[in-house]
Amino acid sequence: MKIITFNLNGIRSAASKGLYDWLQEENPDVLCVQETKAQPDQIDVLQFRELGYHSYIHSAVKKGYSGVAIFSKTEPDYVEIGIGNDKFDVEGRMIRADFGDITILNSYFPSGTTGDIRQEVKMEYLKEIQNFVDELRKERPNIILAGDYNICHKPIDISKPENKKGVSGFLPEEREWVSQFIDSGFIDTLRVFDQSGEKYTWWSYRAGARAKNLGWRIDYQMVTEPLRDKLKSAKIHSNVVMSDHCPYEIVIK
């Protein structure tokens, strides 16, 4: 099973930049996207259907904002929209899809870059998603949490970390959350296969950051420990330029 997560920064924008041709070429079994920035009727599900995908969409109430979607070759056994908290569900931040004994969660974590209020919302979401996953694991031990976490875990995951002190996305309390999330029984899949630096999934549009590879690794596919032996590979597609993010892929048995 090939699973790709990709923050599109607008699905309609990505479509104009070759999304469907890329999808046909990569042919993942499951594509998890974030920041669709579109209502369901603005997403070309017929185009996805022609490529062999079922579409599951969770848009924000606010138009042009946030939103997640899962596109899968196989119809899931079960789909659940939202995290069960209206505060976050109106922002379109989570979809769950079960395939056999594997559960895929696709989430767009809040960003705290716009100020203290949104940073508080972000920290609240981190607690909420931990509780959500803890409860889910009691019945579904094989979980993949894919998406844009909006957090760099370690200095190796961000360019020039010495300049990022006090910056949302690299705050000590955010990084500590990732550490405790992993300690709770999750695996950072990229680091199973690649311990090197300068492996990023997001670059600012400013100052030619992408050309200079001044980036952040904020997109992940964390998997629970029971899936460790099923992991076959992990890959960042840094050459794909349709967004300020790039796709991140894992393959499991």
Domain range 2-252, CATH architecture: 4-Layer Sandwich (3.60)
Q: What is the pLDDT of residues 132-170, one digit of tens each?
A: 999 999 999 999 999 999 999 999 999 999 999 999 999
Considering the entire predicted model, what is its pTM?
0.97
Q: Can you spell out the DSSP letters for 154-191?
A: SGGGBSSGGG-TT-TTS-HHHHHHHHHHHHTTEEEHHH
Q: What is the pLDDT of residues 29-76, one digit of tens each?
A: 999 999 999 999 999 999 999 999 999 999 999 999 999 999 999 999
Distances from the Cα of 101 to the Cα of 139, 141, 226, 234, angstroms: 10, 8, 11, 21
Q: Tell me how far apart the alpha carbons of residues 18 and 221 are, in angstroms, rounded to a whole number.
A: 24
pLDDT value of position 227: 98
148 is catalytic: yes
The amino acid at 145: L
Active-site residue, from 41, 98, 134, 148: 148
- Banded pLDDT at 115 (limits 50, 70, 90): confident
